[in-house]
Homo-oligomer: A and B are copies of this chain.
Amino acid sequence: MKRIYLDHAATTPIDPQVYEVMTKILAEEYGNPSSIYSEGRSVKKYVETAREQIAKAINADIREIYFTGSGSEADNWAIKGIAMKNRAKGKHIITTQIEHHAILHTCEYLEKDGFEVTYLPVDEFGLISLDDLKAAIRKDTILVSIMFANNEIGTIEPIKEIGEIVKEKGVIFHTDAVQAFGNVPIDVKDLNVDLLSISAHKIYGPKGMGALFIRKGVLIDNLIHGGAQERKKRAGTENTAGIAAFGKAAELAVINLEENSKHLQTLRDMLIEGVMAKIPQVRLNGHPTKRLPGNVSFCFDYIEGESILLSLDLAGIAASSGSACTSGSLDPSHVLLAIGLPAGVAHGSLRLTIGKHTSQEDIEYVIEQLVVIIERLRKMSPIDVNCPIDDAVFEDAGHHH
């Protein structure tokens, strides 16, 4: 059966050009870039080319790019590294309720260590309020971390405005741009961000490869101590093949950004309109326009997300409910709760994220299948519009959890 992959926010297939770079390094360039002999010098060039490609993609200086082993590592490094470096100055951090777990769980960990964290709420579309932010900044605030674009509902936060507010207060500003990178233009000079996390596998690069942009002059503790790699800021023999591949992927992403995002957006809007027109009792999560070009997030009333996913999978369609990293979890998505959905509704979420190889026919097929699947599952459900369930009542009965 033909498969239709609509989970590009979870991960993307590797681009053939990226694959070529990566396998070339794997096969031919096995040197350690820290070594002074020719095998080392030769592979070091690829690492530095990649650093240039990444720097160029976000308008940074090459000395501001540090490679990491994932987007999560970049996030952890940014938060913990800034927190530890500045703990004498203050122990207050501001973030949002809708961050990725790499940020949220890191902040929770710091809370145990005496840090205080403000989790800004968001409105029904997933946007933070700039007034909330201003009000939250205190004398002892050392870091503001607000994601560029949300991985579940696709909402794009007003990063430039946030950056201005934060800069004015002299606080350090980090943004998790793992989902935004390659999908919306990013210019760190224009945006006033001090640190920015990205990940290769979201832009048709390999998994296990990320980077952290650290503005020159911003002091940060290391997360991984050891050898002198990455200008002594991130130890460990460089993942040379992964780095070179990430560089190539970033280059391609930026070259094709406009064209690609137009393509994604067209299909996205087609999918949203098709589903909203043909299926009753469905909500679009996230902002109608300030959203990632490839992100579609729905909640279907009266049914549960996993059964939709399984049904789609059987129809040849790969999609997700909430984020991939928590799909083993039973809790409803913290993002959907933060935008105000009741837990019962949040369980019925479906995220479809479009990629550069997705076609119009794919979208048409998905809409067709969804109509059938949703109807079938709703018929199986004990709740419906005539017999809705009062969450509060049943919450008491929820003794299994």
Q: Do the beta carbons of A13 and B30 come within 8 Å of each other?
A: yes
As a 0/1 sequence over residues 46 to 79 of chain A, the CB contacts with chain B under 8 angstroms (1 = contact) are: 0000000000000000000000111111011000
Tier of interface size on chain A: 35 or more
- Evaluate whether A35 and B14 lie within 8 angstroms (CB atoms) in the complex, with A69-B239, A241-B207 already known: no
What is the oligomeric copy number? 2
Interface residues of A in 178-193 (CB under 8 A from B): none
CB-CB nearest 7 A-B residue pairs? A208-B239, A69-B69, A227-B325, A102-B226, A70-B236, A72-B236, A13-B30
User: How close is A319's CB to chain B, nearest CB, in angstroms?
Assistant: 7
Binding site for B on A (CB under 8 A): 3, 5, 7, 10-14, 19, 22-23, 26-27, 30-32, 34-40, 68-73, 75-76, 100-103, 105-106, 108-109, 199, 201, 206-210, 221-229, 235-242, 306, 309-310, 312-313, 317-320, 323-329
**Chain B residues positioned under 8 Å from A223 (CB to CB):** 76, 223-224
Q: Do the beta carbons of B102 and A225 come within 8 Å of each other?
A: yes
Complex Cα spacing A37 to B11, Å? 13
**Residue of A37, A227, A313, A320 with highest tally of chain B CB at under 10 A:** A37
Q: Do the beta carbons of B38 and A313 come within 8 Å of each other?
A: yes
Complex Cα spacing A275 to B145, Å? 58
User: How close is A11's CB to chain B, nearest CB, in angstroms?
Assistant: 4
Complex Cα spacing A326 to B35, Å? 9
